[in-house]
Amino acid sequence: MKWSIADQECFITEENESQCVDPIKRDALPKILYPGYSCLRDQSTGICAFGKRYCGANNQCVGFPLYAKCRRSADCFFGAYCNFGRCVPTLSLGDLCNSHEACGRKALCLYSDAMSAFGTCTELLSVDQDTLIMGKTKAGTYSNLYFLTLNLY
């Protein structure tokens, strides 16, 4: 997705982050690396942008360990997410949840109806076509975020 602001070109990166740059300089942007990603200390492979923000001795970006303080889930090592300012393990399939993030990369938090306070971690691509996915809004109410439509050809 691209758009323009003034003389800059804006786009969504592979990491789902928006960036606006001079179109001539776009290819010079460093790759953003997350905890656990391979890296080199000279930053030739990219910049460790989250967690402790440096390339460790094992040539991997260093994230925050379990139960360490965090600002966002990208700060935590793979398999953990930031919950109330601490890196905690993601939930298992079938566990009660209150956000998609809590279920990790393998599942979504599915709510039974708009009045439910909690959902269930449900494996991605395991629900029927047009299943309603619910989610909290900032006001604490629920809204229909989108319909999950699976059209496999």
Helix H or strand E segment including 25? none
Domain locations in the chain?
A: 96-148
> From CA 74, how far away is CA 57, in angstroms rounded?
20
pLDDT at 2: 46
pLDDT at 142: 42
Q: Which residues of 49-70 are buried (b: 16+ CB within 10 A; e: fewer)?
A: bbbeeebbeeebbbbbeeebeb
SS3 content of the chain, % helix, strand, coil (to 5): 10, 35, 55
pLDDT at 64: 96
* Phi, then psi, of 83 in degrees rounded to 5: -125, 115
pLDDT digits (tens, 9 = 90+) for 71-93: 999 999 989 999 999 999 999 99
pLDDT at 1 over 90: no
Averaged pLDDT for residues 56-70: 95
pTM of the predicted model, to two decimals? 0.62
Helix H or strand E segment including 21? strand 18-21
pLDDT digits (tens, 9 = 90+) for 103-145: 988 888 888 877 888 999 998 776 666 665 555 444 444 444 4
